[in-house]
Structure 1
């Protein structure tokens, strides 16, 4: 979740230094404005996303929209053009990624089926489905209404069996089951009334459990052969975020012998190291570490489960081989494309790899790498319609805060605004600050982002900001967020705005702020607690009341990071950091979007702050989606909200906006406040089909 903070007057001056990426020079003539590209082009769902190679190397799977709904496709690995759909979803479709960006579906070990989760209109009550790629026969393996089911592991000796976690008796403590992938039969492995998470080994035996103590300490336990939990490792509150990073980066691993658990650790160090933890004795040894940044990704052998490589990321991603046998492969792949490499999946024998290249100024490119020949063959790009557009690159810049924290953020300029190519626009530009969600499992990074290019095409500079608590910058930086929601986290954002104004990148008085989830919270903080700082704000599914928020948070972890809702002092502190209590101070327009089925930030969080802002006499536009959850997944809903958003920004900052036209066709949007603030909105909604 995105969080924000109160304003402290900071002077940017020499506190930030900039390192710009190269740009092309436009010469000395007056710039020609870039064509106004359709919203539906710039923000369209990727045509191809999340490719995976089957364990036997014969097939490539990926997701592609059919009539606007994401569905699974499968193609022979040597004939991607022969892909066919194996699911027939409509409406909201299948969700390709979880909230941390991890692919949600997977191949079964026999390479005959795909296993994927499905919820109900964004409520995150997942059931597990399986589809046979030959017959396209699909089955819901866990038809448990209103309960959360998650995949844990496949049985190494039987590809038809898997371990799953089911929160059927408690919303906090999952029970473990063995699941038959053909019949759907579930066999109880462990009835659990204590552990927040449980890790099985390759035989599906539950091995390690995790709890959080009231002081934020994270405890790992091992399950003995007698069925008792005994302490394995006591992890202090300052080092607990490393375990969270292990989870959201999917870095958990168990070795072939089922003896060691692989996970991140920061005990005695600031940057994460990957450790091997003996699940019997608790002894640990370092497998990988870096002096540059936290570990940003790991690569385990798909059959032996041994660590082969790890990634780091300061401004860009770099891979480091641990297993010398794949060092030539990583070097060869690094030379294929100018983008940052990521290995998405590999066949069981390592003969075939699916990789992606992330650029900041072009859609993601996917390749199939044939290891025996050393050849990388293009599969497709994520959004072919955007492949030939002239898009602006991201520029990284380094930030040093008044209390000595160092990190990286990025900015992007409108096309043709920087004629001499020095990374500074010829004149200061209206600017949108884009705040990522999370915050602790996300960061702004050098990547292709449809939203930044949409904003740039409309004539805005985009500050894509990190702040204390963003992932990847070390333990001290991560823990500096503690008790700073609505405090120094917001100061970090404001400091970067002041730097951009001082560098003549951003135009004074013409800066907006936009974000979702935690980023939406930061928007509300900015607009209510520093009401004169930003000209307007756009909040999507951001919480306004920290006293009542956090249905997905463990209360002990919340108490350590945000504030303790169980004590009078803690509740008073949370009130002091809740935008709802400062809404009367709002001075400038706000656009708020909300999904009715949001289980992370319930709708009342937006309802109440909208009402409070209306009482303050401030223009607030409130768009509600009855068929969405924590974010907008249906393309028609995405188009409708940002069609409103660009009209909102044009009125606020003076940028460009396309006519709304048919942007509302197929959308469920209901405008619960402020319809008259957006010229033509009421009329466009009446014409909706």
Structure 2
């Protein structure tokens, strides 16, 4: 039986006091003509939310009520929810946390107000605390210190790897951490060991040694089942089944030539992998240990898309509950009958949205659900549902200052590129534009470039641009992943060439459809910034202006580096991967020069806004400074902005807001204003 969505105000009020969001009974207020720029780039009210093992508590990482992102626990027991701030820092933000049993949490922290990126992957530390905020403990140092009262504080190069589900044979209060070793800017080994989150004591994990491990997969008991190794351009996958002590190598491949990719494991000895089948798309299969290959019959295939998703972990000793995947939008395929019914119930209550469920006592009559419900126009809301009482509770909004009714619709289209290749294109349509009335357009090119960018969900930059009246076109040009191996492979060594033609073809299609006007600007970051520059070089007739930030301006500098330019690209990428994907600095020298914005600076004549982070080590600021000098010599100086405490990806809210305002003013000047 379906039940109407209702909210118990005591619960909503308790969460509202914590997260600074109004209960549902809040009075409506008149809205301004435009949503303020700050609202699009604010820190989310809720970064993450997780149920405790019993389902009686919810842990939330949130910045509401404090200047920093802290860890808050809502205790649902006793009928009256009680919220308390379990952990917070004055100089850092809690970005990763897990429950260890029902009364203790383990968490890491980074400084989100430091844009340098030095703590983005490492030096996060590891800490633990009781759910009520008592008995805090530092397990791993963030600053390199190893001093503590009992001498058990570990160095910064340790990271959380796995938290086991409580079950027979598992010691309470223990989690798995990895000690990382490095060589030539790359991680050469991650070795697991147990640590007690209350005492800090560590013990050796009984695992056969294996060299050059870079990652692991664990089962629900935190037993390592898959080891990934990488050395001298060769990547290998090894397997260790239940009850086995020794590793068996399943495959050994050169970089970029993997025959399959593990997705996860279950507790009954299955390994789940993706591989490219005869259709040319990646599918999900079980690995057949007898044949040494993925099963010929896939478990799941997504026509028109590569499989992208993860297993929904099942109960200890069992297989997965389901598979969470993304085609044009996210969905969950449940194997458990109880969870199928739960998903149907949730979808009926919250129609037309993606409803991502996490659960405790999953599929049972007394199941507890935590639902994140979102759409292309709504960053999301969190709901708590108790199957026994059949009552819904609003936990809060992910971005509480965003009004979904004022946001823009997002749609995906399949068009044909000039050579006939299938080309996926995402379109964010500005609200209020009449049918048949073309809008000024921003072609927003994603970075990577070997990623899939688009999803049916709310994105701050796209929505900001659309709110200012611009049609936003986001092409998944060849070289992008997620749309078949042929589409990905067709982008190899095509920087500035066929990849650039795809970007142009997306705009030409939108103009032919009557969506885009002849006033268009091209924009993007990282590779998207490179594509912006090459768009102005190769298709100057299409673009009135360009906005490039964190942009690669010279592929040769990216590929080989320079003695006086410090970057973070490891030797393995430069030796074994980038020459195949972009080009060989010697064999392809002419091709790289022909498609270098720096070498083609004389051809960039449209107005250009360039922005860089002064601490960027992926695309160092030298890329921007060299191009800026060349453009000044060519007589076309760009608008120029740098941010002193930002790396590759603007992380500080103040930077994002300031840059968005500069973009808004630049576009308004060159797209909206008519020349006299």
Bucket of the pairwise TM-score, normalised by the shorter protein: 0.7 to 0.9
The equivalent residue for 1:296 is: 308
Root-mean-square deviation (CA, aligned residues, Å) is 3.6
Q: What are the equivalent positions in structure 2 for 1:15-164 lying under 5 Å apart?
A: 35-66=33-64, 69-77=68-76, 82-89=82-89, 93-95=93-95, 104-118=96-110, 121-123=116-118, 124-126=120-122, 127-132=124-129, 133-135=131-133, 137=136, 139=138, 141-143=140-142, 145=144, 149-155=158-164, 157-164=170-177
Q: CA deviation at 1:432?
A: 0.9
1:178 and 2:187 matched? no
Which of the two has higher C-alpha Rg?
2
> Once the 2 structures are TM-superposed, how far is the Cα of residue 77 of structure 1 from its aligned partner?
4.4
Task: Name the CA distance, whole Å, in 2 between partners of 1:91 and 1:605.
Answer: 32
Instruction: Quote the residue 1:287 is aligned against.
Output: 299
The Cα of 1:140 is off from its aligned counterpart by 5.1
Q: Return the match for 1:341 from 345, 354, 359.
A: 354
1:376 Cα deviation from its structure 2 partner: 4.5
- Determine whether 1:558 maps to 2:577: yes
* Separation in 2, partners of 1:398, 1:527: 25
Matched residue SS, 2:488: helix
SS at match of 1:289: coil
The answer for the alignment partner of 1:328 in structure 2 is 341
Distance (whole Å) between structure 2 residues aligned to residue 187 and residue 547 of structure 1: 47
Q: Which residue of 2 aligns with 1:524?
A: 533
Within-5 A mapping of 1:441-590: 441-508=451-518, 510-549=519-558, 551-552=568-569, 554-555=572-573, 558-559=577-578, 561-565=580-584, 568-570=586-588, 573-590=591-608
How many residue pairs get matched?
599
Q: SS at the partner of 2:45?
A: coil
Contact 1:60 1:80 in 2 (8 A): no
- CA 1:93 to 1:652, structure 2 compared with 1: closer, same or farther past 3 Å? farther
Contact 2:372 2:383 in 1 (8 A): yes
* Cα distance, 1:569 vs structure 2: 1.0
Asked if structure 2 preserves the Cα contact closer than 8 Å seen for 1:632 and 1:638, the reply is yes
Q: How does 1:74-473 map to 2 (within 5 A)?
A: 74-77=73-76, 82-89=82-89, 93-95=93-95, 104-118=96-110, 121-123=116-118, 124-126=120-122, 127-132=124-129, 133-135=131-133, 137=136, 139=138, 141-143=140-142, 145=144, 149-155=158-164, 157-170=170-183, 171-180=186-195, 181-185=197-201, 193-201=211-219, 206-211=224-229, 218-222=235-239, 231-234=249-252, 240=258, 243=261, 252-257=263-268, 259-277=269-287, 282=292, 284-285=294-295, 286-291=298-303, 293-304=305-316, 306-343=319-356, 345-347=358-360, 349=362, 351-372=367-388, 376-387=392-403, 389-418=405-434, 424-426=435-437, 428-473=438-483
- The answer to whether the 8 Å contact 2:266/2:313 transfers is no
Preserved contact between residue 208 and residue 279 of structure 1 (Cα < 8 Å): no
Kindly tell me: are residues 432 and 348 of structure 1, through their superposed partners in 2, closer, same or farther at Cα, counting changes over 3 Å?
Answer: same
- 3-state SS, counterpart of residue 411 of structure 1: strand
Higher relative CO (Cα under 8 Å, sequence separation at least 6) belongs to 1
Contact 2:70 2:85 in 1 (8 A): yes
* Kept after mapping to 2: 8 A contact 1:339/1:357: no
5+ residue gaps, structure 2, are 1-30, 145-154, 560-567
Q: Contact 2:532 / 2:546 at 8 angstroms: preserved in 1?
A: yes
Q: State the alpha-carbon separation in 1 of the partners of residues 91 and 357 from structure 2.
A: 27
Q: Structure 1 504/323 Cα, relative in aligned 2: closer, same or farther at 3 Å? A: same
Change (3 A) 1:505 1:585: same
Deviation at residue 80 of structure 1 after TM alignment: 10
**Structure 2: how far apart are the matches of 1:116 and 1:188?**
22
Gaps of 5+ in 1: 1-32, 96-103, 247-251, 419-423, 657-689
Distance 1:611 1:204, change over 3 A: farther
Deviation, 1:110, is 4.5
Bigger shift: 442-451 or 406-415?
406-415
Per the TM alignment, residue 56 of structure 1 is displaced from its structure 2 partner at its CA by 2.2
Q: Secondary structure at the match of 1:115?
A: strand
Distance 2:654 2:303 in 1: 45
Conservation of the 8 A alpha-carbon contact between 1:51 and 1:344: no
User: Does the Cα contact within 8 Å between 2:452 and 2:476 map onto a contact in 1?
Assistant: no
Please, what TM-score do these two structures have when normalized by structure 2?
0.78
